[in-house]
Structure 1
Amino acid sequence: MGYNEQERAFIEWYPRGYGVGFKVRERLFETQTKYQRLEIYETEGFGKLLVLDGTVQLVEVGEESYHEVLVHPVMLAHPNPRRVLVIGGGDGGTLREVLKHGTVEKATMVEIDDGVVEASYIYLDVAKDLLDRLLKGEEPRAELIIGDGVKYLRESDERFDVIIVDSTDPVGPAKLLFSEEFYRSAYEKLNEKGLYITQAGSVYLFTNELLDAYRAMKRVFDRVYYFSFPVIGYASPWSFLVGVKGDIDFRKVDTRRAEKLGLYYYDPERHETLFQMPKYVRDLLERA
């Protein structure tokens, strides 16, 4: 796993010998932060690549295929999302999409690793202007907190309409973010009507992790939905899980509010296509 100098390529290897790779022009930056190994590469055709502990987080060209789908389905399904919490997402892409919604009065991003924020601000053209305002405390509708999202959610007195978890894969250090205990904290911090969303890994290669997270969420939320989307740079299709508190129907979104968002990948007019899932995976989920 990782950068191959001879081949000038970065390859992320998944279980069973499956890999996702990019041809690389040069390695721009590498460091060991307090929490993880961080690398940034210039690719041949997809702009800059952000890697954490050997796993692809995003490439600049196509990053919206992840950020749009993580944010807008829940934001458009909620009748009036005014207060939003983002856990993780230090590159700023998720918060950037959240703030496209005029209903948002306050958005809070809690990122544990300030090294990710700093490197994203310096090297990535994802949300540079937004990160600049956040770091200066000049973004009127959002704030950045450097800290543990699990601890923040457990201890905060805030209540939210939407909680978005933009974390690394549901294995290793991020596993706590996919635990029943964490889901209960999130449920308690949602308002009477609220939505929670998390990415849940590769449909084909992290199926067991998806099933585990789905089972845990079903024990907590009033309803749980699953869907998938092809994300550039990931072992797609990539899965997402949505937890509902209250009487929100996640299968319906407000397409009128979507008209001014300028979306490129997620199509609210075809929202129902998100719910396509390979039959055997759907069968496993329905039996979970």
Structure 2
Amino acid sequence: MGYNGEERAFIEWYPRGYGVGFKVKERLFETQTKYQRLELYETEGFGKLLVLDGTVQLVEVGEESYHEPLVHPVLLAHPNPRRVLVIGGGDGGTLREVLRHKTVEKAVMVEIDEMVIEVSRVYLNVERGAFDDPRTELIIGDGVKYLKETDEKFDVIIVDSTDPVGPAKLLFSEEFYRSAYEKLNERGLYITQAGSVYLFTNELLDAYRAMKKVFDRVYYFSFPVIGYASPWSFLVGVKGDVDFRKIDLERARGLELYYYDPERHETLFQMPRYVRLLLESGDEGE
């Protein structure tokens, strides 16, 4: 896994020998932060590539293919998303998309690794002023601890974390979901990325079942993300009477999105048949 100097390529290897790779021109930056190994590369055709602990986080050209489906479906499904919490997302892309919504009055972002934010500010064209927006409250800290201790309530909570394996597993636990549920307003939405549909199927199933124990309803969907072992999965937890299958198309019209298509919102819910059957097998009798 990682950079091959002879081949001038970066390859992320997934389970069962599946890899996602980019041809690179050069390695721009590398450091061991307090929490993880951070690398930055210039690719041949996708701009800069951000890597944490050997896993691709984003490439500049196409990063919206991840950030748009993570943010806009839940904000457009919520009737009035005024207060939003982002956990993780140190590159600033998720925060940037949140702040495109005029209804948002405050966006709190909690990122544990300050170095990711600093490197993103200096090298990446991703946050585009989001960190300095007057609606933004940027907190350097542990998202799990913050959610447990804060007195604030939110309309939407977005978890933009690394994959649901290793250190990030706490963000996919029933205990964490309960903390999130408590910190949502009476009508609230929670969303998390949940890994590769094909290669992290078991992790997706575990997260879905844990969320089902906590939220009033849970939805799953997938989206093709540039740089990831797509299709990539997302899970949405609902508190109250919000219908995630219906979005506000009037609010969507001013967004001018590139990847996620609000007018075809229903296509999000396509899932390989065997995965859908696995997910729904635990729903019998409910």
TM range (shorter): over 0.9
User: Does 2:50 correspond to 1:56?
Assistant: no
CA–CA distance in structure 1, aligned partners of residues 51 and 124 of structure 2: 12
SS, match of residue 227 in structure 1: strand
Cα RMSD of the aligned pairs, angstroms, is: 0.5
1:73-132 Cα deviation digits (max 9, x unpaired): 00000000000000000000000000000000100000000010000001101114323x
CA–CA distance in structure 2, aligned partners of residues 86 and 15 of structure 1: 29
Mapped contact 2:130–2:136 kept (Cα < 8 A): no
Quote the residue 1:118 is aligned against. Answer: 118
CA-CA distance at 1:27 after TM superposition: 0.2
Quote the residue 2:261 is aligned against. Answer: 267
Mapped contact 1:153–1:189 kept (Cα < 8 A): yes
CA–CA distance in structure 1, aligned partners of residues 249 and 174 of structure 2: 33
CA–CA distance in structure 2, aligned partners of residues 17 and 76 of structure 1: 38
After TM superposition, list the pairs within 5 Å mapping 1:159-170 onto structure 2: 159-170=153-164
Quote the residue 1:85 is aligned against. Answer: 85
Letter in 1 for 2:105: E
- Please, which runs of 5 or more residues in structure 1 have no aligned partner? 134-138
User: Does 2:194 correspond to 1:188?
Assistant: no
CA–CA distance in structure 2, aligned partners of residues 34 and 174 of structure 1: 15
Quote the residue 1:153 is aligned against. Answer: 147
Quote the residue 1:32 is aligned against. Answer: 32
SS, match of residue 62 in structure 1: coil
CA-CA distance at 1:280 after TM superposition: 0.2
User: Does 2:2 correspond to 1:2?
Assistant: yes
Runs of 4+ in 1 over 2 A off after TM superposition: 128-131
CA–CA distance in structure 2, aligned partners of residues 170 and 101 of structure 1: 28
Mapped contact 2:211–2:218 kept (Cα < 8 A): yes
Quote the residue 2:275 is aligned against. Answer: 281
- Please, which runs of 5 or more residues in structure 2 have no aligned partner? none
CA–CA distance in structure 2, aligned partners of residues 248 and 83 of structure 1: 16
TM-score between both structures, scaled by the size of structure 1: 0.97
Quote the residue 2:232 is aligned against. Answer: 238
CA-CA distance at 1:140 after TM superposition: 1.4
Mapped contact 1:70–1:199 kept (Cα < 8 A): yes
Quote the residue 1:136 is aligned against. Answer: none
CA–CA distance in structure 2, aligned partners of residues 209 and 273 of structure 1: 23
Mapped contact 1:120–1:128 kept (Cα < 8 A): no
SS, match of residue 101 in structure 1: coil
Mapped contact 1:60–1:125 kept (Cα < 8 A): yes
CA-CA distance at 1:5 after TM superposition: 0.2
CA–CA distance in structure 2, aligned partners of residues 105 and 129 of structure 1: 16
Quote the residue 2:69 is aligned against. Answer: 69
CA–CA distance in structure 2, aligned partners of residues 33 and 143 of structure 1: 23
1:213-272 Cα deviation digits (max 9, x unpaired): 000000000000000000000000000000000001100001110111110000000000
Quote the residue 1:99 is aligned against. Answer: 99
Letter in 1 for 2:59: V
Quote the residue 2:129 is aligned against. Answer: 129
Match of 1:222 among 216, 220, 230: 216
1:36-66 Cα deviation digits (max 9, x unpaired): 0000000000000000000000000000000
CA–CA distance in structure 2, aligned partners of residues 195 and 62 of structure 1: 26
Aligned residues: 282
CA–CA distance in structure 2, aligned partners of residues 140 and 45 of structure 1: 34
Letter in 2 for 1:54: G
Mapped contact 2:24–2:43 kept (Cα < 8 A): yes
Mapped contact 1:89–1:167 kept (Cα < 8 A): yes
CA–CA distance in structure 2, aligned partners of residues 128 and 191 of structure 1: 29
1:132-173 Cα deviation digits (max 9, x unpaired): x2xxxxx21111000000000000000000000000000000
Quote the residue 1:256 is aligned against. Answer: 250
